[in-house]
Amino acid sequence: MELQNISADLEAQGIALYAISYDPPDVLASFAARHGISYPLLSDAGSELIRELGILNAEAPESIEGIPHPGVFVLDENGIVAEKHFYESYRERDTGLGLLEHVLGIAAAHDGPQTQAASDVVQLRADFDAPTYVWGQRLWLTVRLTIADGYHIYGRPIPGGYMPLDIEIEPLERVTVGAPRWPTPEPFQVAGLDEHFQVFSGEIEVSLPLSFMSVDAGALDVRGTVTLQACTATECLAPDSLSFEMRLLEAPLVERPQPRD
């Protein structure tokens, strides 16, 4: 269903979508009819192609033998693999919007929960790329900061005694928070000082992946804190923090294709 949700966005970009499964053709046809799947579902019964492509998941349980690592191949107009993106665990996969933005680099409108916070110098807006989560799914939390004109905040590396921009998510049971994707900071030096800094100014965006490994967890309250220190070319404010909270609801699992009797 996640791929179906982005099929129109891909088509608008001139990108053709195909899905490969180890299920037989009749099972895939029934699944597509029940769930309104409009893109082609290709059957690799016996997982021969999956093995040839080197994506067979040897760690999967024997009950689902032949399953591949979840992921995507991106092919160019000549059919050459331009890039690939796969997960080790057979249980983990991207949302549709996560695939668009973080694999294909296509901007998309987020429809997940949003929240805002602000200080005298920095405005914060945070959102998820999906309104709900399911077991085994990876959602992306995006934090957008707007820094007042004339100010900057510190990035890394940074000399001792200063506070760099950081984001911390409160621990949640069976939710794994991955490393943030930081924007590229700009070099900065204060006149008369030998110290060299890396700073952010204007509008910046930081993304963090959250992988959900709980079953029947229900609603989850995701809480985070952004810490920073804002400065001008001549003075620095005291270190500051902005907190945010969003609630994610668990979506019902979509029944995977089942063999016919």
Q: pLDDT tens digits, residue range 154-184? A: 999 988 888 999 999 999 988 999 999 999 9
pLDDT at site 255: 55
**Structural domain of residue 126, as residue ranges?**
114-250
Kindly report, residue by residue over 103-118, the tens digit of the pLDDT: 787 777 667 899 999 9
Any domain includes 59: yes
Residues 125 and 96 in one domain: no
pLDDT at site 134: 83
Residues 135 and 42 in one domain: no
Residues 41 and 142 in one domain: no
Residues 85 and 161 in one domain: no
Any domain includes 261: no
Domain count, the chain: 2
Residues 96 and 126 in one domain: no
Residues 67 and 121 in one domain: no
Residues 162 and 96 in one domain: no
Residues 135 and 84 in one domain: no
Name the stretches of the chain with pLDDT < 70: 1, 62-63, 90-91, 109-110, 214-217, 253-261
pLDDT at site 260: 43
pLDDT at site 112: 84
Residues 98 and 173 in one domain: no
Model-level pTM? 0.74
Assign 3-class secondary structure to the chain.
Answer: CHHHHHHHHHHHCCCCCCEEECCCHHHHHHHHHHHCCCCCEEECCCCHHHHHCCCECCCCCHHHCCCECCEEEEECCCCCEEEEEECCCCCCEECHHHHHHHCCCCCCCCCCCEEEEECCCEEEEEEECCCEECCCEEEEEEEEEEECCCCEEECCCCCCCCCCCEEEECCECCEEECCCECCCCEEEECCCCCCEEEEECCEEEEEEEEEECCCCCCCEEEEEEEEECEECCCCECCCEEEEEEEEEEECCCCCCCCCCC
Residues 147 and 236 in one domain: yes
Any domain includes 257: no
Residues 49 and 133 in one domain: no
